[in-house]
Amino acid sequence: MAPIFKPRPSCRHVVFVVALALAGCGVAGYEKQMQEAEVRIQRIDEENRLLGPSLELPAAPPKTPWLSFFFLRPPKGIQTVSKKDEIPYHYPATSSVCSDVYVAISTDQEKAQKLIEEKLGTAGLNWQPVEVNPPGRPPIAFKAVEFFDQQAPASAPAVFVAYVHQTAGFPAVGVVFRVLKTNRDAAAPSLKMSMETYAEQGDAYKALADYRKRKAS
């Protein structure tokens, strides 16, 4: 019986198969990039629908170890400028799912929490650890609490939703949203997305640059 010979693939055939495989990988990678870009676009559209421009911190007194930079987009309808002498810094709403936003800055986390409690009329709150997960960045650890506004009229009860974070080597920052009780559920997506924009220092510079670039385009 004559031996059976199996033709060996030519070099050209091998090159073609490898190129085809690489092309397949390239198509898959391209599709993945397109999907990621679509997710980013949808995120930006949702942020623009729910959130307003970033807050501005008043200039810190000389030699005060405040943040050199901070970024947060509040719910749409919140004013972006606070008076310098307001402590915590106060950003009222013109029209929004929340009536006010406050920013408290202190030398450490516990002091920031006490500042919030003292200024907003309560004490001894049970602050709990929570994580905020900003897209494309590592999770950020906060202490958070929700409590009633004791000074709100009975006809319009309201709650404060407060977060405090401190990065090692920098001051602690507290962000507080005041929301009418009737708006609490409706406000939840805006509050969540607002906190996901939170950034400090280098991340804040990048966040502001990206925001300005998108706004200008």
Q: What total of structural domains would you count in the chain?
A: 2
The residue out of 17, 33, 50 marking a domain boundary is 50
CA 181, 183, 186 angle in degrees (round to 5)? 135
Same domain, 176 and 82: yes
* pLDDT for the residue 199: 95
* Separation of alpha carbons 97 and 122, rounded Å: 23
On whether residue 161 sits in a domain, the answer given is yes
Same domain, 116 and 32: no
* pLDDT for the residue 69: 78
- Tens of pLDDT, residues 119-175: 998 899 999 999 999 998 999 999 999 999 999 999 999 999 999 999 998 899 999
- CATH code for the domain of 96: 3.40.1000
Question: Minimum mean pLDDT among 17-21, 42-46, 155-159: which range?
Answer: 17-21
Same domain, 12 and 79: no
Same domain, 86 and 132: yes
Is 211 or 68 the better-scoring residue by pLDDT? Answer: 211
Same domain, 161 and 209: yes
Q: Is the CB of residue 51 less than 8 Å from the CB of residue 74?
A: yes
Same domain, 45 and 65: no
Same domain, 37 and 69: no
Q: What is the mean pLDDT of the chain?
A: 85
pLDDT at 14 over 60: no
| pTM to 2 decimal places | 0.81
DSSP type of residue 45: H
- Which CB contacts under 8 angstroms, 24+ apart, belong to 167-171? 167/200, 167/201, 170/67, 170/200, 170/201, 171/65, 171/66, 171/67, 171/105, 171/106, 171/107, 171/108, 171/112
Domain hosting 40: range is 8-50
Give the chain's length.
Answer: 217
Same domain, 84 and 106: yes
